[in-house]
Amino acid sequence: MCRDKTAYFESGKLPTNLNSWERRPTSKVIQAQKWSGVKEQLNKLFLATLDTGSVPLTDDFEGDRRNVDRAIVDKITIGLDYPCYPQLPGPPSNPMNMTLQFLKPLSKTNPNIQIVGQEARLTSDHIEEPSHSIGVERAEYYLSFLHDHAVSQVRGLKACVTGPFTLASYLDLSNLMKCGASKPDVVSTLARILSRSCRRLSDLGFHLVCIDEPFLSVMLGRKGEVLFKYNEQFIIDTLNSLIGQLSCFSAVHVCGRITPLVKEILLESSANIVDHEFAATPMNINAYTNDDLEQHRKFLAFGCVSSISPAVEPVEEISAALEHAVERFGDRILVKPDCGFGGMMGIPEAYSTVQKKLSNMVAAAKITRQHIAS
């Protein structure tokens, strides 16, 4: 397969067959619309299926990309409505994860960011901002692959960006209270850098971009205190600086328990979709009410299969969970796994297990849609 896509990517546009898919209006148009019009667009996502991104296959993006290609084909074949480009964990000899995907290219222009194995060290708080977007190479290849294979049977495409707080936390992570996330200048610089990545993904034509911020569940603890004493508005503004670059549906993913502060900050953000786990943390079902979502104009990406347990959830179990979610939150539900499946790497038959989980999830969403329609 030819991988010289320079001319294609410089155009900043999707190939013709992908442009035919439904697109969300630009942010400027949305701001001018009444909420009823925006909600009409969002309603088309009701019970749509998507994945978080990672699967338990060894990353070979810098090699022959057989695993990357396999993951793309399998996500499409399973029938996900909004499949995300694959994020694959790297081998010990060449580590890769959701943070290194962005920090490795950033370290090429910043010698003070040192990648040692799976660790990233910051020798100086000054980070030079590159003029180009970083961490989007996998997303670009994803579009290239779909174009080469004339894939058009999905409703839309999803991309993910590791958020600035989570990315900063990975810098000097061995000392939590002194890691990069404890330094507002570092967080703000990373936010500006990641904003360019969001803009690039939006310009490429992705239909949904999710900002992954698992570290917020640590920062915004259960006791109502913000780690590192950040002002809550600073966190909201930082998230919005990325969201504001998107002309597509926007989401923020925070796994773990939904603390009151997590809920408050995500509801006050500009994201269209709040994204959480519910299979592994069933108590999260009580975190939001339908009124919360209605008043703040949010939809909920509902994690309904575990991303850590090897047990494959039966279709009936998933469908029951979805019906309960619809009863509680109405027509504001998207269907997804709790989180990425990369953490299942090493479990016997992990990849085939993930395929079964996703297949059952897609089947359960279809059954739930049919049940509601009848």
pLDDT at 175 over 80: yes
Do 197 and 136 touch, CB atoms closer than 8 A?
A: yes
pLDDT, residue 35, reads 55
Identify whether 17 is part of a domain. Answer: no
CATH of the domain at 128: 3.20.20.210
Identify whether 121 is part of a domain. Answer: yes
Residues in the chain, overall count: 374
pLDDT at 49 over 80: yes
pLDDT, residue 362, reads 98
Q: What are phi and psi of 329, to 5 degrees?
A: -115, 0
Identify whether 4 is part of a domain. Answer: no
Q: Which domain holds residue 103?
A: 22-373
pLDDT at 259 over 90: yes
Adjacency order of strands within the sheet including 158-162: 158-162, 208-212, 249-253, 273-277, 299-303, 333-336
Identify whether 314 is part of a domain. Answer: yes
Mean pLDDT of 278-286: 97
Identify whether 115 is part of a domain. Answer: yes
pLDDT at 238 over 90: yes
Identify whether 73 is part of a domain. Answer: yes
pLDDT, residue 18, reads 44
Mean pLDDT of 9-24: 39
For residue 4 the two structure tokens come to: 């010289």
Mean pLDDT of 90-113: 96
Give the helix, strand, coil percentages of the chain, each rounded to 5.
45, 10, 40
For residue 268 the two structure tokens come to: 């006050």
pLDDT, residue 151, reads 87
Identify whether 353 is part of a domain. Answer: yes
Strand partners, 335: 49, 302
Identify whether 156 is part of a domain. Answer: yes
Do 50 and 82 touch, CB atoms closer than 8 A?
A: yes
CA distance linking residue 91 with residue 232, whole number of Å: 38
For residue 335, which of 311, 359, 309 has the smallest C-alpha distance?
359
The per-residue b/e assignment along 74-106, b for 16 or more CB within 10 angstroms, e otherwise, is bbbebbbbbbbbbbbbbeeeebbbbbbbbbbbb
pLDDT at 15 over 80: no
- pLDDT-based confidence at residue 176 (cuts at 50, 70, 90): very high
Looking at the 3D structure of the chain, how many domains does it have? Answer: 1
